[in-house]
Amino acid sequence: MRRVFFLLGKGGVGKTTSAASLALNLSRKGFSVFWASIDPAHNLWDVLGMEEEGGVKRVEGRLWAQEVDLEAYIRRFLGETTQRMKELYRHLQILNLEGMLDVLRYSPGMEESALLFALKEILEVHGDKDYLVIDTPPTGLTLKIFSLPFSILLWIDQLKKWRERILDRRAVVRSIKGEKALGEGVACEKGEDSIYRELERQEREAGVMAELLRDGDRVANILVMNQDRLSFMESQRIKVFLERMEIPIHLILLNKFGLVRGREGVEEGRVRETFSPVPVRVLPFVEGALGKEELLLLGRDWVEELV
């Protein structure tokens, strides 16, 4: 895999159209491309003028596409999490893990966790492609997904410290009262403790995602915005958030340029000044549905820069 492209921005600014243009241009250059939409409100197939289908579908040549089924990933995420909990806490028969599923399904952060789970699978399964193009949800959900690996790392760091204290106290009890004081199978060392090993596993997974998001050679973030003030202001917030997370922006697409006029719009010069030194490319407003050839033309110049 050469690179992953994330299309970011406010809802309705044209992320999916830009993603289609990018994916088609890369494919026509002879690269293998996998284009995925992780936005729960999909319109990938609409942009291409194709019938909506589940799973992965070949669009043309070396281009494949998929709309991620969020509900399916939530079910799988919960299923795998429950199975691991059963294995870790098999000695606690009182836990009714199946009964917890209904509660967990609606817990805060479940959508973000499931979409991060989906994103990791996309990277693993389709990592043999030259390029991955990821069409993201609107700002709020996307930033939560991006911040999740870093939050997980902070939590696990503290959980590991607490687990180490528990293991140390077990070791003290065992040294005073003898080998059989804690019962059979109760670990006192980190390497023997299944819970500590699970924390390390989750730490590795989160670390891989956090490192990837910050790697400007493997990931390119493309921020799509319009001229209207709401889009401009939200794009500024995205920029500040990503800078705080040390995640770079590679390109600004000032899309639908000319649609907003007068005082309601933000001048091109102000956009360039605000987001400098990130390059800004201006895309004109085009009325009506775009066919594949129009989509190719829309991305011809700026896609060349990314390759």
Q: Summarize pLDDT for 89-98 with one digit per residue, the tens.
A: 665 454 555 5
Provide the CATH number for the domain around residue 87: 3.40.50.300
Domain count, the chain: 1
What is the C-alpha to C-alpha distance for residues 20 and 16, in angstroms, rounded to an integer?
6
Q: By residue range, what is the domain housing residue 215?
A: 3-306
What is the C-alpha to C-alpha distance for residues 122 and 216, in angstroms, rounded to an integer?
19
The reported pLDDT for the residue numbered 49 is 79
Answer yes or no: is pLDDT of 144 > 50: yes
Name residues whose C-beta falls within 8 Å of residue 174's C-beta, 6 or more positions apart in sequence. 181, 182, 188
Out of 42-46, 84-88, 131-135, 175-179, least confident range: 84-88
What is the C-alpha to C-alpha distance for residues 272 and 230, in angstroms, rounded to an integer?
17
pLDDT, average across residues 23-37: 95
The reported pLDDT for the residue numbered 91 is 53
What is the C-alpha to C-alpha distance for residues 210 and 213, in angstroms, rounded to an integer?
5
Distances (CA, A) of 189 to 86, 94, 196: 21, 26, 9
pLDDT, average across residues 167-175: 88
Answer yes or no: is pLDDT of 235 > 50: yes
